[in-house]
C-alpha cells in the first residue's frame, strides 16, 4: 500500500562554518551521489519522490536532490515534500532549523548534536566518561606544535578533529615525520588551527553501524526494536600504510566483508556491539551512525571514530552496482537489500 510520504533528499551544497577554529572538509559533490541513490531506490518502491527535475535522469545526481540551503528546502516543500531526508552534514544553525514550525518530518540527525559530536575530542571525552574504550590522543595546535607531549609510543595516527572518513588521516612513524605532517595540515587551513594525534592500533579494524530504536521490517516480519541495535560488523582489510583508504579512491566493497556467523558469536564482538550501542545512545542518534573500531596488538577493541553521517551510497542505479556503503554491506547480512535499508530508514522519520 502506498504511503503518504512525499520525500525530498538534500545534499550538502556548501562547507559547514568553522567551529572554534576547526574546519570540517567538504566531500566533492556534497553527497549528491548517495542522495540520488536514495531517491532512486525509494521511487522504484512506490514512494513518492519530490525532485528538482521533472524528469530526473538516472545518471545525473543533481536531478534527484535539493541543495541544503534555505531556498533549496523551501523549494522542496513548495513542490509537495512532507519528509526531508537530511543526507548532508548538519550543524547548529543549519538552514533546516528554519522550518521547525512546519508540519514536516525528517530522516537524519539533530543538527545541534552533530555540531557537538563531530568534534572527535569532545566525543571521545564523552565515551571515556562512560567507561567506553577509546585510544589515547592529544590535541596539537600551532601554539604547542613544537612542545607537545605524547603519553604513547610511535607510530601514531594524525587526524583532523572534525574529519570525514579517512581524508587527512596519516600514519606517522616518528616525531620528525609528525612535525612535517603538522606543518602540512595546519598550513593548508583545510582542517583549521588544530589536529590530534592518536595511538596507532595495529589489530583488526571493524566498522559497526548502529540503528535507532523503532519498528523494522526484517525477513518479512515487523519487529519492535526498543533500544539501539547494531548491524553485523564489517571487517576492513587491505589497508594502505596502516589506514583504510578513502572510499572515493577504493570502493569499500573491494576491501570490506561482513563477519561470519562464528565470528559474530565471539564474546569480544558481542561486547563491542554493546559498547557501540551505548555510544549511540549517548549522542542521542536519530538515524544510523557508523563507529569505526580497531583492536590493539592484544586483541582488545577500541572505538576510534564515531561518524554521525555515515556515507549511504548504494547499488540502486544501474551504473553504481559497486557502490554499496559499509552500512549497505552490513545490512545485506540480515537479509536487507539497499532498498530494504532505505525503506527501513524512512520508517524511522521524526518530526522536526
Q: What does the mean pLDDT of the chain come to?
A: 92
- Mean pLDDT of all residues in 5-14: 97
Model pLDDT for residues 201-233, shown as the tens digit of each residue:
999 999 999 999 999 999 999 999 999 999 999
What residue segments make up the domains of the chain, in order of their start? 6-108, 136-199, 205-330
pTM attached to this predicted model: 0.93
Instruction: Enter the CATH code of domain 136-199.
Output: 3.30.1490.20
Model pLDDT for residues 158-183, shown as the tens digit of each residue:
998 887 767 788 899 999 999 898 88
Model pLDDT for residues 275-302, shown as the tens digit of each residue:
999 999 999 999 999 999 999 999 999 9
205-330 CATH pick, 3.40.1000, 2.30.29, 3.30.470, 3.30.379? 3.30.470
156 vs 24, residue with greater confidence: 156
The residues that bridge with 171 in the sheet, in sequence order, are: 157
pLDDT > 70: percent of the chain? 97
pLDDT beyond 70 at 51: yes
Amino acid at each position: 500500500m502506498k504511503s503518504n510520504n512525499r520525500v525530498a533528499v538534500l545534499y550538502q551544497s556548501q562547507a559547514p562554518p568553522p567551529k572554534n577554529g576547526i574546519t570540517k572538509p567538504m566531500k566533492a559533490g556534497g553527497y549528491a551521489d548517495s542522495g540520488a541513490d536514495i531517491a532512486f531506490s525509494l521511487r522504484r518502491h512506490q514512494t513518492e519522490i519530490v525532485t528538482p527535475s521533472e524528469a530526473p535522469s538516472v545518471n545525473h545526481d543533481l536531478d534527484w536532490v535539493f541543495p541544503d540551503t534555505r531556498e533549496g528546502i523551501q523549494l522542496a516543500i513548495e513542490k509537495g515534500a512532507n519528509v526531508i531526508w537530511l543526507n548532508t552534514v548538519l550543524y547548529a544553525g543549519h538552514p533546516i532549523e528554519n522550518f521547525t514550525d512546519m508540519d514536516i518530518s525528517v530522516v537524519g540527525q539533530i543538527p545541534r548534536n552533530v555540531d557537538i559530536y563531530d568534534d572527535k575530542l569532545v566525543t571521545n571525552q564523552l565515551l571515556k566518561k562512560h567507561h567506553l574504550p577509546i585510544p589515547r590522543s592529544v590535541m596539537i595546535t600551532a601554539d604547542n606544535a613544537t612542545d607537545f607531549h605524547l603519553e604513547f609510543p610511535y607510530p601514531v595516527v594524525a587526524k583532523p578533529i572534525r574529519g570525514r572518513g579517512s581524508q587527512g588521516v596519516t600514519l606517522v612513524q616518528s616525531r620528525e615525520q609528525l612535525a612535517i605532517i603538522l606543518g602540512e595540515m595546519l598550513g593548508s587551513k583545510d582542517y583549521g588551527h588544530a589536529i590530534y594525534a592518536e595511538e596507532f592500533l595495529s589489530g583488526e579494524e571493524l566498522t559497526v553501524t548502529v540503528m535507532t530504536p523503532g519498528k523494522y521490517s526484517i525477513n518479512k516480519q515487523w519487529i519492535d526494536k526498543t533500544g539501539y541495535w547494531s548491524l553485523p560488523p564489517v571487517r576492513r582489510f587491505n589497508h594502505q600504510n596502516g589506514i583504510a583508504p578513502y572510499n572515493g579512491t577504493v570502493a569499500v566493497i573491494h576491501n570490506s566483508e561482513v563477519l561470519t556467523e562464528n565470528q559474530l558469536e565471539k564474546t569480544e564482538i558481542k561486547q563491542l556491539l554493546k559498547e557501540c550501542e551505548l555510544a549511540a545512545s549517548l549522542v542521542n542518534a536519530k538515524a544510523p551512525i557508523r563507529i569505526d573500531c580497531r583492536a590493539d596488538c592484544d586483541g582488545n577493541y577500541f572505538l576510534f571514530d564515531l561518524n554521525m553521517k555515515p556515507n549511504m551510497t548504494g547499488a540502486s542505479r544501474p551504473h553504481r552496482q559497486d557502490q554499496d556503503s559499509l552500512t549497505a554491506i552490513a545490512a545485506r547480512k540480515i537479509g536487507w537489500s539497499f532498498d530494504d535499508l532505505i525503506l527501513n530508514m524512512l520508517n524511522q522519520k521524526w518530526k522536526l
